[in-house]
Structure 1
Amino acid sequence: MPTARQIYIFSYPNPTFAAHWALWIPSSHDPKVGKVIQVTGDTISGYEHEFKRNYDAAASGRIPSVTLLSSVESRFVVDVPGDGSQTEDTTPHDAIEHAALSVDAPGPSLRKPSEQKTKVPIKNCQTWLRQLVEKLIADSIMSPEALDIVDQTPKN
């Protein structure tokens, strides 16, 4: 059986706004560092894709809640160590990163009350991550149970 890699959800709780969600994949060489796959931005300006490589969550100063999302075959994950320093980019190196870029980052979805004629669904990093997991399930990279885990992840 192929070697498995663990994929987690980082959830950064926030009592006022929606929690920030991102995928976390620890490095196969050093599980204290790894890569974060996420969209960053806000509901007013919109979001952009981002891959943080050689990310050390403990050194960031932000403490996320960490939830195991799924185990995937190692062939779907490529570690890009570079020189060992943290980098940020949007160049895909594996199937999960390609899938992440295939799911559009949410555009602006929050408008001034005077500009809203009808109720607009708010799209953010949480809606994007859920769509990414749906894509990874459709591509047979993750098991369907991963969607249940996403739906149970705290939203604040």
Structure 2
Amino acid sequence: MSTDAFAAAIGKGASLHKPRFTEALRTGLIFGAIEAITPIIGWFIGQAAVSFAEEWDHWIAFTLLVLLGIHMIYNGLQEDEEEQERSGQHSFWVLAVTAFATSIDALAVGVGLAFVDVNILVAAAAIGVATAVMVTLGVMLGRVLGTVVGKRAEIIGGVVLMLVGAGILFEHLSAV
């Protein structure tokens, strides 16, 4: 489940100007916390409405990631009058929306876990820790890629987010 968050983190890291490890860790913790919370929410949803969650989760993730990707591409294509440097940090809300979009599958997993005998808190904690580690590493890998591609890193990051969204949608539609 953490692979889509990892890919998004690479894009986020690439769009920043030399993010420090503390920013990578902050991003990892935000993604990890949200990725840990969503299966718990899914577990509660699973008690009530299994069909709705499974029917729409991939469309919600796809839409959010494509919109975020378009926004990043738009920002990357804007000509800077004073050649501003890329930011060293993303806002909490941008990270939270991206993390939520990549954790929709964890929500669906939580729905499924509602029907088996599993401790949802232990499963959610394991998912959250794995995601936090992978996202932290992804941001640092994105830092290297951002240095290589320079100013257009935000465009590449936007394309990565859109591809992650398309991948989630394709995975769910091809399973039907």
- Fold-level similarity (TM above 0.5): no
- Give the structure with the higher percent strand: 1
Higher percent of residues as helix: 2
Measured against the shorter chain, the TM-score band is under 0.3
